[in-house]
Amino acid sequence: MNELIFHQLSKHYGKRCLFTELTLPLIAGQCLLLTGKNGAGKSTLMRILAGLDKPDQGEIQADGKRYSWRAYRPQLQRQILYLHQQPYLFEGSVWDNLAYALTRGLPRSEQHQQIEAIADWAGLTALLMNPAKRLSGGEAQRLAMARALLRKPRALLLDEPTANMDQAARLLTLEMLEDLKRQGLRLMVASHDPDWFQAVTNQHLAL
Amino acid sequence: METISSATWQALQLLLSGDTALWEIILISFRVSILAILLATPPALLMAFMLAFGQFPGRRLLIAIVNTALAIPAVVIGLTLYLLLSRSGPLGEWRLLFTQTAMVLGQIALAFPLLVAMAHTALQAADRRAWETARMLGASRLRAVWTLMYEVRFGLMSALLASFGRIIAEVGASMMLGGNILHYTRNIPTAIALETSKGEFAQGIALGLVLLLLAFALNLLLHYFQGKGQIAA
C-alpha cells in the first residue's frame, strides 16, 4: 500500500522525444540512479516527478489507487521534493533556512528541537548562525537536504548532488544518502558520475 | 552674477530660518508624492509580478504598452487627466480638478509605468529557483511571493526611489491638475516655475536646492541599493 509508481510518462520538446511511456517505481528505502548525457532529460524527468513541470502524459499509482498526473500534482508537490543542482538558499542564516521549511505556528520549543536535530544530522550545528549564502558547495547541498527533510517528504530527488564538491564532501553526501535509505526514504539521484553512487544505488535508469 | 549669489544667500536664509510659506510648499510636495507612491506601488507590484511570471494572452502587448507609457511626457498625462476631470469631462462630477487628489492621481499615472517597468526588470532577474524552493518547502503562494520580493528587494527599492524622484520633480501634471493654488496645491516644482516667472529668484532657488538635495539623497540610496542588489545576486 506504500507504493509510488509513475506510469506511461512521456515528454517531448517539439519533435524531440525525451522519454516515452516510461514506468518508474519509487520504492521505499531504495535509490534510483538516473544517468544520461546533457540534455537527455534527467532534470526534466525529476521536475515532472516533483510536480514542477508538466509531462505530455502520465499517471501515478499511489497507495492502491491510480491518478492522472494533473490530478495528483498537488500531492506530488508535497510528497516529492526536488533539489536543484545548485540549491537555492534564502537570505539569512542557516537557521532561517531550516525554519522556513517548518510548518508555521509550530511551538518555539518544537521548532528549536527539530532544527537542532536536523542540523546535527547534516553536520551543520556549528554553522547554524552563519549566512546561508556563504556556505561552501557541500555545506549548501547538505543544508538543502536537511531543509527538504523537515517537510517529511516521501521521496527526495537530487540533481547532480555532488557536482562541485571535493572528495570529503562527496563521501559525506553518500553517507547521508545511505542513512536516508535506512530511514525508508525513496531517493533518486541524477548524475554524470554513476561510479560514485554505485554503493547506494538499487536501480539504474539511463535516459 | 551678483543677483545669483545674493538670491542664493537669501534662499539659504529662507530655508534655514524655517520660513513657513516655503516649508508649507515642501510639505505639500512630499505629502502628495508620498501618497501617490504608496497608492501606486501595490498594483504596480502586482502587475510586474504578473508580467514576470504570468502566462496569459496579451502579456507581451502589455509589456510594450507599459514601456511606451514610460515615454509619455508629464504634461500629456496632465492634459489627459485634465480633460477627464474638468467640469465637462466624464469625471467632472467628482469635482477633483485643482485639488491635491487630482495631483495625486496625476502622479500615480506618472509613477505607475516606471514602477511596473523597473519592478518587472527586477523580478525577471530573480532566480526562478527561489519561487520553486519556497513552494516546495510548503510556502503558500502569498508567502512565496513575499519571499521572492524579499530576494529582489534592492531592485524593488530602486524602482520605488526612481519613481519618487520622477514625480516629486515633475511640473506639467501638477500645474494642470493642481492649479498651483497657494497653501493648497502649490508644490515645489510649480512654485519654482511661478516664482521664477515673477523674478523672485530666492524662493525658487531655495526650493531648487531642496530638490537638488533630494535628488542627491535618492541617488545615493539608489547606488546603495543597486550595489547591494549586485552583491546579493
Query: Cβ contact (<8 Å) for A151 and B137?
Result: yes
Q: Could A101 and B137 be called an inter-chain contact, meaning their C-beta atoms sit closer than 8 Å?
A: yes
Q: Rounded distance, CA A8 to CA A58, Å?
A: 5
Report how far residue A201's alpha carbon sits from residue A175's, in angstroms, rounded to the nearest whole number.
13
Looking at chain B, how many residues does it have?
Answer: 233
Comparing CB atoms, the residue among A81, A90, A91 nearest residue B136 is A81
List b or e across B93-115, with b for residues whose CB sees 16 or more CB atoms inside 10 angstroms.
eeebbbbbbbbbbbbbbbbbbbb
Residue of A52, A101, A147 lying closest to B132 (CB–CB)? A52
CA gap A159, A49 in Å, rounded: 12
* B12 within domain boundaries: no
Residue from A43, A53, A91 whose CB has the most chain B CBs within 10 Å, to mutate: A91
CATH of domain A30-53+76-206: 3.40.50.300
Domain coverage including residue B26: 19-232
Residue found under cell 546603495: B224
Mean pLDDT, rounded, of chain A: 91
d(CA A157, CA A77): 12
ipTM computed for the complex: 0.89
Mean pLDDT check: name the lowest of A180-194, B4-18, B20-34, B101-115.
Answer: B4-18
Instruction: Yes or no: say if B200 and B12 are a contact pair by the CB < 8 Å rule.
Output: no
Contact residues, chain A, for B137 at CB < 8 Å: 100-101, 147-148, 151
Whether pLDDT at A140 is above 90: yes
Q: Looking at this protein, which amino acid is placed at residue B72?
A: I
CATH number at residue B207: 1.10.3720.10
The answer to whether residue B231 scores a pLDDT higher than 60 is no
List chain B residues with CB under 8 Å of A133: 232
Report how many domains make up chain B.
1
Residue B42 forms part of a structural domain: yes
What is the spatial distance between Cα A6 and Cα A35, in angstroms, rounded to a whole number? Answer: 18
pLDDT of residue A95: 95
The letter for the amino acid at B59 is R
Residues whose CB falls within 8 Å of the CB of residue A139, separated by 6 or more in sequence, listed in order = A124, A127, A169
A113/B contact by beta carbon, under 8 A: no
Determine which of A55-69, B5-19, B119-133 has the lowest per-residue pLDDT on average. Answer: B5-19
What gap in Å lies between CA A163 and CA A157, rounded to an integer? 15
Nearest CA in chain B to A53: B132
Closest chain A CA to residue B144: A100
What pLDDT score does B182 carry?
A: 92
The answer to whether position B118 is within a domain reads: yes
pLDDT at B222 over 50: yes
Return the CA Rg of chain A: 17
Q: Which residue has the higher pLDDT, B230 or A11?
A: A11
| B130 chain-A contacts, CB cut-off 8 A | 88, 90
| B139 interaction partners in chain A (CB closer than 8 Å) | 100
CA distance A80 to chain B (A): 9
* Domain assignment of residue B83, yes or no: yes
Number of cross-chain residue pairs from A and B with Cβ atoms under 8 Å apart: 41
**For the sheet containing A186-190, what is the strand order?**
A80-83, A155-159, A186-190, A31-35, A203-206
Alpha-helical regions (H) of chain A? 42-49, 69-79, 94-100, 108-121, 137-149, 167-182, 194-197
Among B223, B162, B153, B221, smallest CA distance to B40 is for B162
Cβ–Cβ contact A77 with B under 8 A: yes
User: Is B14 within a domain?
Assistant: no
Partner B contacted by A154 (CB < 8 A): no
Reply yes or no on whether the pLDDT at B131 is more than 50: yes
Q: Residue B233: which pLDDT band, with cuts at 50, 70 and 90? A: very low
Structural domain includes residue B75 = yes
Q: Where are the domains of chain A?
A: 30-53+76-206
The larger pLDDT score, comparing residue B221 to residue B120, is at: B120
Question: Distances from the Cα of B215 to the Cαs of B159, B166, B169, in angstroms?
Answer: 14, 10, 9
Mean pLDDT value across residues B41-48? 95
* Residue pLDDT, tens place only, A110-134: 999 999 999 999 999 999 999 999 9
Q: What does the pLDDT look like over B77-114, one tens digit per residue?
A: 999 999 999 999 999 999 999 999 999 999 999 999 99
**pLDDT in the model for residue A162:** 87
B63 within 8 A of B51, measured Cβ to Cβ: yes
